[in-house]
Copies of this chain bind each other. A is one copy, B any other.
Amino acid sequence: MEVTVGLIGLGNVGQGTLQILTENAKSITEKLGFPLTVKAVCSRTVESKKIACPSSVIRTVNWREVVAHPGIDIVVEAIGGTATARSIIEGALGQRKSVVTANKELMALRGAELWSLANANGVNIAMEASVAGGIPIHTVLREGIAGDKVVELYGILNGTSNFILTEIEKSKAAFDSVLAEAQQLGYAEADPSADVDGLDARSKLAILAALAFGEDLKPSDIYTEGIRRVMPVDFQYAHQLKHTIRLLCLARQTEDGLVLSVRPSLIPRDAILANVTGAYNAIWIRGLYGEDTFYYGRGAGSKPTGVAVVSDLMRVAREIRFGSPDRVSPFAHERLGAYKPLPIPTQKLPYYLRFRVEDKAGIIATLATILAKHNIGIDAVLQLPREDWRDLPFVVTTEPAREQAIRDALIEIRSADFLIEPPFAMPMQRGF
């Protein structure tokens, strides 16, 4: 009667998964009508781990043992990365075992391919935990609003960078010192690049956009810019404009194609997304029929991500016991070619342009001339009072303009002799 699980990887996610499967076993059994039993756990350091499960559970350092074990129905891949993880998943699918994975990087790169392999073997691959840990956004897209046609999707998908941004906003401290603090608190990795340079968010957006729009797209299709350049003064200016700043992930259908980007953006302060602070994630979806829906929760964490893994396990286990209703790749639907990823957004948006300059005469005149040449109207020039007149950060907001015009103008502006560093540009996003 039972369905059995082999768990590979006992880091954060693996441990959360094991804890929930163990502690919450009675509830899980009652919801399923049969038990979901852990048969094996695998970790390079399995000997030294405290594992709260019966002694009958196989403990091994060799993942091949789990993948090959004939008594295991579902393999959980919770080691991350793209090399060994891929071997584990392909190995398990080849053995006709279903797979549950938390691996955003691998699924963003090879999701469609791995799904095909699963299908060819008559099994499933589930990945709720790969995006926005605590938010069941895959289930929502795959089932909850399956009847709708998604038009736009906005997300805050990286908890670490959201934590850092909201700390800069609160404490007015600089990026470097807030990052150091986040690293001490364990919110940021020793190598923070994946988080603060937007790469983690990019993988997650690639997966969500593929599910939402059914297009064949890759992380490299997504324009990506991290948060390293956001300064405390940007929040002051943003507040003056009744906005705040978030690392916004965006996927939007336009007549020209699919706009995809991960970049620091101004968003209205009264938008629900602006209330997403600290290590939380959120996703705003606009459907053609269902209109706006919004989803919020923990972006990561051992137990919230564990809930995603366990919920996937329950669904896959049901399918194993009673038949498997997933036969069409969530990556492949609607591959109509109607919405190709756009290399650059064509929609017009207002922009926030921040300049750090030496105090010289004629700066505004020079900027205004260059912007005018590219048909970019100026909406406002903002300058906070400062005692120190060197290194003067000031801001120009523009009338709605195309990204291409902004980029062209900024290239021209970069050659001006009064700039201390290249200009910093953020779109001002609306509509949620």
Contacts and interface: CB of A to CB of B under 8 A. Distances in A.
Contacts of A146: 28, 31, 310-311, 314-315
A239 interface: no
A31 B298 contact: no
A273 B57 CA distance: 44
A148 interface: yes
A270 B274 CA distance: 12
A290 to B, nearest CB: 4
Contacts of A32: 328
Contact of A128 (B28, B138, B144, B328): B144
Interface string A218-236: 0000000000000000000
A324 B323 CA distance: 6
A383 interface: no
Contacts of A314: 143, 146-147
Given A144-B311, A147-B311, A275-B272, A24 B322 contact: no
Nearest to A303: B289
Contact of A326 (B30, B290, B318): B318
A89 to B, nearest CB: 21
A394 interface: no
Contact of A24 (B33, B147, B311, B327): B147
Contacts of A138: 144
B275 A147 contact: no
Contacts of A290: 134, 297-298, 303-304, 307-308
B293 A294 contact: no
A293 B145 contact: no
Given A139-B144, A143-B143, A144-B139, A31 B293 contact: no
A79 B324 CA distance: 32
A319 interface: yes
Contacts of A147: 20, 24, 28, 306-311, 313-314
Interface of A: 16, 19-20, 24, 26-28, 30-33, 128, 134-136, 138-140, 143-149, 214, 270, 272, 275, 287-298, 301, 303-304, 306-311, 313-315, 318-319, 321-328, 333-335
3 closest residue pairs by CB, A with B? A323-B323, A136-B144, A147-B310
